[in-house]
């Protein structure tokens, strides 16, 4: 018998979809679909990377604020310093990779919980985002991105729309689908994916059979950072002005999406498709509640309930897999 | 290492006067033993006798302070577990052999995954991996229902057996088993003993570490008895009975004394 980690989130997504589609005509119209797929897409790109990291046995609390760091970098280099936007995007990537490497290196060197290490990075980046934005712009906003050279080509890649059946859809949705497919392929079909499961499942045992656990962990942190760079760039190019507090607080939503998608908090089990479905549930609920004219407060209640359900279901999976020890 | 070929009758692995100090504490002293292809050498000893230290020397985790390890008659010195593994010495640790949440076939190839395709499309050849896992386990007489099931659903004995099959498949010539039967019930232990015999019959030299003479005696060809870091000698099967093994392990006199103490008071 094979337990699919994403099964729970698939059922959840179908139930949520059926509920809102049945109760709101706007929700099921092409315009409505484009509307709820949009928040799901940027969240989903992050959730896939965060899910890989969680399967590898770690958390990254700095993932949310890092989308802000990269977006602000694009904003300051392209908007304030008036450089080519592609250069700004490249600078943001280098910074993101450096942060990811630092996170991974600290976690593997010290053996401390990644929770506490990345909480430190999170707070530091939050301070830097505000401090540096103020130092460069004198305000808490980095703007003027659309005036930078190369903006049109960057917009085509990161922030254009694709029209299907007369309805424009954000291109981020396509990137999200691609990231989910690549994440799933890497996880299930490559050596690296096998090492991710093993490192998260039992690090000592995997080292004993020759898995490069340290390298795997550092690569995973750099993957999360790369995803944050990608989403940060999408935000910067789409909005053309970036608030200094962008992304702060989202790190927990990524983790919620990954857990709804079947990731076990202790590592070693989960799925990229599941995390994407978790993000989809999030997007559908966020917009669906608006369409039903409910108070938006109910959104967080609902999200919390989904999370609890998911954690309880995941616990059963782990019990099953460990039932017959000895 | 293969030139020149070792003379006939050279043991696969030989320990000569091995000693290991941890600071000023002598953990092992003057241990000599031989492991031959197609034979099982049992290392017996009570807790604290030095069994784990000896495994770590053989597996390349520790460097011996004194003495020599000879592989095919030539002295070797390992500075990492991977080097011992590459030389054909595989160690199956009691609890740290498998990842419970991963499928059997993923565990089987963990760290040595076969790949197919090229460049960025190089991928884990899962079809081959599943096929080989099924075939190798069947060849060892291990009956698993489905290679896709997580290792955590296997019993302890089955897990040890899969770990043994894995070591055999990856070209181990010397197989070191760390207490493979100690946590198991009688029936499960029997299953593992059968696989030890299987590995032996395939021509491997097996080092079987245990504190249970009842498990060691039926399957062993040679017995090395350790007591407080020292060797009480190496015996061939025809030189020693199971009761003598038990006696030596516990330090015969102590056991006799204990038996006397525990006897019910007679008379009054």
Q: Which residue ranges make up each domain of chain B?
A: 13-101+172-260
Across residues B44-70, what is the average pLDDT? Answer: 86
Residue environment code for B128-152, b if the CB has 16+ CB neighbours within 10 A, otherwise e = ebbebbbebbeebebebeebebbbb
- Residues across chain B: 268
| pLDDT at position A326 | 36
Which range has the worst mean pLDDT, B13-22, B112-121, B231-240, B249-258? B249-258
In this structure, how many other beta carbons lie within 10 angstroms of the beta carbon of residue A166? Answer: 7
pLDDT interval class at B52 (50, 70, 90): confident
| pLDDT at position A323 | 60
Q: Residue B177 pLDDT > 50, yes or no?
A: yes
- Residues across chain A: 326
| pLDDT at position B8 | 65
Q: Mapping DSSP to helix (H, G, I), strand (E, B) and coil, where does residue A306 land?
A: helix
| pLDDT at position B4 | 58
* Among the partner residues B126, B148, B155, nearest to A189 by beta-carbon distance: B126
Per the listing, tokens 């894995």 go with B166
Q: Which of residues 217-276 of A touch B (CB under 8 A)?
A: 264, 268-269
Q: Does A201 touch chain B (CB under 8 A)?
A: yes
Q: Which of A309, A203, A194 is nearest to A259 (CA)?
A: A309
The chain-wide mean pLDDT, for chain B, equals 84
Size of interface A-B (CB pairs under 8 A): 89
| pLDDT at position A240 | 93
| pLDDT at position B248 | 77
Tokens of B186: 């009688």
| pLDDT at position A243 | 94
Kindly give, in sequence order, each residue whose CB lies less than 8 Å from that of residue A184, ignoring residues fewer than 6 positions away.
Answer: A271, A272, A273
Across residues B39-44, what is the average pLDDT? Answer: 92
Per the listing, tokens 């989809």 go with A280
Q: Are residues A62 and A125 in contact, defined by beta-carbon separation less than 8 angstroms?
A: yes
Could you give the C-alpha distances from B22 to B16, B45, B47, in angstroms and in order? 19, 19, 17
Per the listing, tokens 């179908």 go with A14
Q: Which residues of B touch A (CB under 8 A)?
A: 81-82, 85, 93, 96-102, 106, 109-113, 115, 122-124, 126, 146, 148-150, 152-156, 183-184
In this structure, how many other beta carbons lie within 10 angstroms of the beta carbon of residue B249? Answer: 22
Contact at CB, A2 and B149, closer than 8 angstroms: yes
Q: Which of residues 167-186 of A touch B (CB under 8 A)?
A: 185
Q: Which of residues 290-319 of A touch B (CB under 8 A)?
A: 318
Residue environment code for A210-249, b if the CB has 16+ CB neighbours within 10 A, otherwise e = bbebbebbbbbbbbbbbbbbbbbbbbbbbbbebbbebbbe
What gap in Å lies between CA B181 and CA B194, rounded to an integer? 11
Query: Closest-CA residue in chain A for B124?
Result: A190
| pLDDT at position A1 | 38
326 residues of chain A, pLDDT tens digit each: 346 788 888 888 999 999 999 999 999 999 999 999 999 999 999 999 999 999 999 999 999 999 999 999 999 999 999 999 999 999 999 999 999 999 999 999 999 999 999 999 999 999 999 999 999 999 999 999 999 999 999 999 999 999 988 899 999 999 999 999 999 999 999 999 999 999 999 988 888 777 899 999 999 999 999 999 999 999 999 999 999 999 998 999 999 999 999 998 889 999 999 999 999 999 999 999 999 988 888 888 888 888 898 888 877 776 776 664 43
Beta bridge mates, B43: B209, B224
- B89-92/B174-178 β-pairing: parallel
- What percentage of residues in chain B have a pLDDT greater than 90? 12
What gap in Å lies between CA B13 and CA B173, rounded to an integer? 10
Could you give the C-alpha distances from A9 to A131, A187, A250, B139, B226, in angstroms and in order? 39, 18, 20, 40, 56
| pLDDT at position B100 | 86
Quote the strand ranges of A201-274, DSSP E.
242-243
Tens-place pLDDT, residues B195-245? 889 889 888 999 999 888 888 888 899 999 888 888 888 888 888 888 888
Tokens of B137: 């386990």
Q: Which CATH fold would you assign to the domain B13-101+172-260?
A: Rossmann fold (3.40.50)
Q: A314 to chain B, minimum CA–CA distance in Å?
A: 12
Could you give the C-alpha distances from B120 to B38, B124, B172, in angstroms and in order? 43, 12, 31
Q: Are residues A136 and A71 in contact, defined by beta-carbon separation less than 8 angstroms?
A: no
In this structure, how many other beta carbons lie within 10 angstroms of the beta carbon of residue B58? Answer: 25
Q: Residue B82 pLDDT > 80, yes or no?
A: no
| pLDDT at position B215 | 86
* Among the partner residues B93, B98, B153, nearest to A324 by beta-carbon distance: B153
């Amino acid at each position: 018998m094979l337990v699919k980690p994403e099964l729970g989130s698939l059922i959840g997504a179908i139930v949520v979809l059926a509920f809102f589609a049945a109760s709101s005509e706007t929700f099921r119209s092409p315009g409505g679909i484009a509307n709820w797929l949009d928040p799901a897409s940027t969240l989903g790109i992050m959730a896939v990377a965060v899910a890989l990291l969680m399967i590898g046995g770690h958390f990254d609390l700095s993932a949310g604020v890092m989308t802000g760091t990269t977006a602000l970098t694009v904003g300051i280099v392209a908007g304030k310093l008036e450089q080519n936007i592609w250069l700004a995007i490249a600078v943001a990537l280098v910074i993101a990779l450096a942060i990811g490497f630092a996170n991974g290196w600290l976690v593997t060197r010290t053996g401390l919980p990644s929770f506490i290490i990345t909480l430190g990075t999170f707070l530091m980046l939050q301070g830097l985002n505000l401090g540096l934005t103020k130092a460069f712009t004198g305000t808490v906003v980095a703007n003027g991105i659309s005036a930078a050279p190369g903006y049109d080509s960057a917009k085509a890649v990161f922030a254009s729309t694709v029209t299907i059946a007369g309805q424009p859809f954000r291109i981020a949705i396509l990137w999200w689908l691609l990231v989910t497919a690549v994440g799933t392929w890497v996880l299930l079909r490559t050596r690296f994916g096998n090492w991710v499961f093993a490192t998260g499942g039992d690090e000592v045992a995997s080292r004993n059979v020759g898995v490069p656990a340290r390298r795997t962990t550092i690569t995973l942190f750099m993957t999360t950072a790369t995803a944050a760079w990608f989403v940060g760039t999408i935000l910067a190019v789409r909005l053309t002005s970036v608030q200094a507090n962008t992304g702060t607080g989202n790190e927990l939503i990524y983790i919620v999406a990954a857990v709804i998608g079947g990731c076990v908090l202790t590592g070693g089990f989960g799925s990229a498709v599941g995390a994407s479905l978790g993000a989809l549930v999030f997007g559908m609920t966020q917009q669906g509640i608006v369409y039903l004219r409910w108070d938006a407060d109910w959104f967080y209640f609902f999200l919390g309930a989904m999370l609890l359900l998911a954690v309880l279901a995941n616990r059963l999976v782990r019990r099953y897999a460990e039932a017959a020890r000895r | 290492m293969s030139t020149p070929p070792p003379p006939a009758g050279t043991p696969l692995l030989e320990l000569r006067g091995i000693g290991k100090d941890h600071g000023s504490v002598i953990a092992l002293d003057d241990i000599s033993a031989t492991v031959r292809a197609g034979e099982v050498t049992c290392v017996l000893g009570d807790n604290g006798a030095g069994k784990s230290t000896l495994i770590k020397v053989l597996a390349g985790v520790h460097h011996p302070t004194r003495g020599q390890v000879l592989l095919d008659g030539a002295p070797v010195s390992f500075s990492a577990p991977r080097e011992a593994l590459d030389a054909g010495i595989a160690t199956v640790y009691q609890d740290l052999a498998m990842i419970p949440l991963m499928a059997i076939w993923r565990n089987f190839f963990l760290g040595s995954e076969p790949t197919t395709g090229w460049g960025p499309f190089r991928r884990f050849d899962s079809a081959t991996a599943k096929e080989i896992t099924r075939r190798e386990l069947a060849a060892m007489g291990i009956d698993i229902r489905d290679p896709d099931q997580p290792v955590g659903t296997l019993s302890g004995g089955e897990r040890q057996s899969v770990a043994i099959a894995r070591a055999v498949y990856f070209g181990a010539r010397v197989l070191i088993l760390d207490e493979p039967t100690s946590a198991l019930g009688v029936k499960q232990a029997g299953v593992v003993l059968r696989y030890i015999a299987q590995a032996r019959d395939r021509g491997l030299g097996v080092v079987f570490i245990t504190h249970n003479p009842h498990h060691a005696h039926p399957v062993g060809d040679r017995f090395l008895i350790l007591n407080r870091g020292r060797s009480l000698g190496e015996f061939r099967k025809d030189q020693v009975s199971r009761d003598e093994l038990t006696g030596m392990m516990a330090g015969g006199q102590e056991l006799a004394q204990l038996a006397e103490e525990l006897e019910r008071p007679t008379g009054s």
